[in-house]
Structures are given as C-alpha cells and as structure tokens.
C-alpha cells in the first residue's frame, strides 16, 4: 500500500472565498445564471476552477489596421470614430463602429439576435462610444470596406495589461445556452482571484517532484502567460495522487479478516505441475508463491498480474484456481 498522507482541511483565508462556495454568490451570477451554470455541472467555485479550457487562442499579436487580411482572425486596436445601432426585419440587432489608428480605418460589426425581454445591444451602446480606445478580435470579412465581425472586444482605460479577452493567450471554454464564453472567462478569472485554493499535495511530495503549487498551476492553465508543460504535469500529478490516496484509503478500510483461509493440499496442484510438460520459470514460481501467500493469509487478496504476451499469465492463474478448487471454492476464467 502506498504511504498515506494527511490531506489538509479546506479553510478560507480572511476575505477570500472557500472553494465550496456556491457559484450563485459570485458577482454577476445570481439564481437564474446559477441554473444555467448547473447545466455544465458548475455548482461551486471549485467546479469553476476545474472547468478547464477546451483550447487556447493566441491573441498576443496586435496588428496595425494597414495589415488587415480578409478571411483571417486578427486582433486589432483603434480609436472609435463613430457608432450606430439598428434592428433588422429578420430579428437581428446590429451594432457598428468605425475605428482608426495612424495607419488606416476599420468597420467593426456586432450581430445579436433580438429579444422581446431586453435590449441585446445595451452593453455595446455603453461601451462603443466615440473617443474610446478599443481592442477587437474577430474575422475580417470580404466587403467593400475593411470589416471585422467582432467575436471579443475590450474597451481600454489607458492600459492593455488587465485585458483577459484580447491581447494575450485567451482560454476558450465549453459553454451551453444562456452562457457566453466571455462571461464564463470573466467568472473563472474572478474565482481565481477571490478564492482560497488549498494545497492538497504534501510539501515533501511537491518538493521531490519539483511541482508547481496548485494555485499557480490553475492560474497558468486558465490564463497562461506562455505555454508550459510543467503546468499540465502539476495538475495531472495532483489528480493521480489524490485518486491513488482515495484508493489506498478504501483498501485500508476494507482490510478486514476473511471468513476462511485457503490450505495447500497439493491434491490437484502436484498432478497438474507433473503433467504440464514443462518447468515453470523462476518468475512464474515467484509470482505463484506470492499469490499462494495471499490466498492462505487471513486478509483478502488485492493483486494485478501483469506480463508480456506468452509470459505464462494463464498458467499462473490456473494454479490459483486449482488452489481454490482444493478448498472447495469456485473460480472463473
């Protein structure tokens, strides 16, 4: 059995959320949005932290407007010159903004399906106002004038450093109806910055394998500053360690004496060995001896026999079955 370690209890630092907190109590969620998140299995802050990106998109390169290329996804920056908002007879609401930088101009479009319950362009009407500087990411459409169909945007307040949607390596998450990738990205970013994340690995295990701390690994996995294999290694190691610890605890709990113990009578074993027509290998003898020790002990056997094709696993299994048969017990192959 692997060595068991005491796993720390989950405690919250002062002013930080416990990871068992319901997502409902995060800023911008509430009961209705919590119901949408539940469809993704996101019930707690910890569920959010463990809702890993399906992929990442590298949006670090911000190009000038003169470098626009049709049919390419690009990240661009400019000052808003004008904006307009219209509704079509086909059930769409469209926001349009003209932006410029020292090298040229670009028309940006946001398309939303209309709702009778609220104004789907309300946030855009507040954000895309003339004079503001904006980062936009999307595909450049083939049109009479350079046009981008905007997927993500960020209004800049004098700096790009705090942007989590553009101008960086951006995580893309699995979502469901009623939840946008941008909303989920914001929510996970909030959870990372406000939750108290307990370290589950013992210090000596962490040091022995030079592993990144869990809080840092989660931060770098969701919002990487660069792609690092050691982040995946840290998360995978922790998951496997916890899984093995649980299995060890379950096995320890089940280590109660058997109601019977096998006895070696050699009633079937000796004739079988004599008529096999070959001598068992040293490895086969060693494994058979270990299995017999398990079967004649007072505790249940928990063993996996592993070997290459043709190494004699079946003959070893037959010996164990014959021992069971000598004790009037059943076995199955």
Secondary structure of the chain in HEC code, one letter for each residue: CCCCCCCCCCCCCCCCEECCCEHHHCCCCHHHHHHHHHCCCCCEHHHHHCCCCCEEEECCCEECHHHCCCCCEEEEEEEEEEEEEEECCCCEEEEEEEEEECCEEEEEEEEEECCCCCCCCHHHHHHCCCCCEEEEEEEEECCCCCEEEEEEEEEECCCCCCCCCCCCEEEECCCCCCCCHHHHHHHHHHHHHHEECCCCCCHHHHHHCCCCCHHHHHHHHHCCCCCCHHHHHHHHHHHHHHHHHHHHHHHHHCCCCCCCCCCCCCCCHHHHHHHCCCCCCHHHHHHHHHHHHHHCCCCCCCCCCCCCCCCCHHHHHHHHHHHHHHCCCCCCC
pLDDT value of position 14: 55
Across the range 288-316, mean pLDDT stands at 88
pLDDT value of position 47: 94
pLDDT value of position 269: 86
Tell me how long the chain is: 333
Judge contact between 173 and 188, C-beta under 8 A: yes
Across the range 222-239, mean pLDDT stands at 88
* Overall pTM surpassing 0.85 (yes/no): no
Across the range 320-331, mean pLDDT stands at 92
pLDDT value of position 13: 53
Look up tokens 């992929």; give the residue. Answer: 55
- d(CA 40, CA 124) in angstroms, rounded, equals 27
pLDDT in tens, 57-112: 888 888 889 988 888 988 898 999 999 999 988 889 999 999 999 999 999 999 99
Lowest mean pLDDT among 93-102, 274-283, 287-296: 274-283
Lowest mean pLDDT among 117-131, 160-174, 205-219: 160-174
pLDDT value of position 6: 40
pLDDT confidence tier of residue 124, bands split at 50, 70 and 90? very high
Q: Which of 64, 23, 78 is nearest to 47 (CA)?
A: 23
Q: Which of 135, 131, 138, 87 is nearest to 113 (CA)?
A: 87
Comparing 291 with 9, the larger pLDDT belongs to 291
């Amino acid at each position: 059995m692997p060595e068991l370690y005491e796993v720390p209890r989950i405690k919250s630092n002062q002013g930080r959320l416990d990871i068992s907190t319901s997502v409902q109590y995060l800023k911008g969620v509430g009961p209705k949005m919590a119901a949408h998140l539940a469809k993704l299995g996101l019930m707690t802050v910890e569920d959010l932290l463990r809702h890993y990106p399906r992929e990442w998109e590298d949006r670090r390169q911000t190009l000038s407007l003169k470098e626009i290329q049709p049919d390419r996804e690009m990240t661009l920056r400019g000052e808003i010159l004008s904006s307009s908002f219209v509704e079509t007879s086909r059930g769409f609401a469209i926001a349009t903004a003209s932006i410029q930088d020292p090298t040229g101009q670009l028309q940006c479009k946001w398309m939303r399906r209309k709702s009778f319950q609220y104004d789907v362009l309300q946030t855009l009407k507040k954000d895309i106002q003339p004079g503001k500087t904006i980062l936009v990411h999307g595909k450049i459409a083939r049109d009479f004038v350079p046009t981008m169909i905007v997927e993500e945007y960020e209004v800049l307040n004098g700096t790009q450093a705090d942007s989590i949607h553009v101008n960086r390596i951006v995580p893309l998450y699995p979502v469901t109806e009623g939840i946008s990738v941008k909303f989920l990205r914001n929510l996970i970013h909030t959870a990372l910055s406000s939750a108290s994340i307990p370290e589950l690995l013992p210090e000596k295990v962490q040091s022995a394998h030079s592993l990144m701390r869990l809080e840092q690994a989660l931060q770098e996995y969701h919002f990487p500053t660069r792609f690092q294999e050691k982040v995946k290694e840290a998360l995978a190691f922790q998951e496997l360690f916890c899984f093995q610890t649980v299995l060890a605890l379950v096995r320890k709990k089940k280590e109660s004496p058997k109601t019977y113990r096998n006895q070696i009578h050699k009633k079937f074993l000796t004739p079988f060995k004599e008529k096999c027509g070959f001598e068992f290998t040293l490895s086969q003898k060693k494994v058979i001896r270990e299995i017999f020790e398990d079967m004649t002990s007072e505790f249940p056997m928990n063993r996996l026999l592993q070997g290459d094709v043709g190494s004699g696993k079946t003959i070893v299994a037959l010996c164990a079955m014959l021992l069971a048969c000598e004790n009037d017990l059943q076995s199955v192959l």
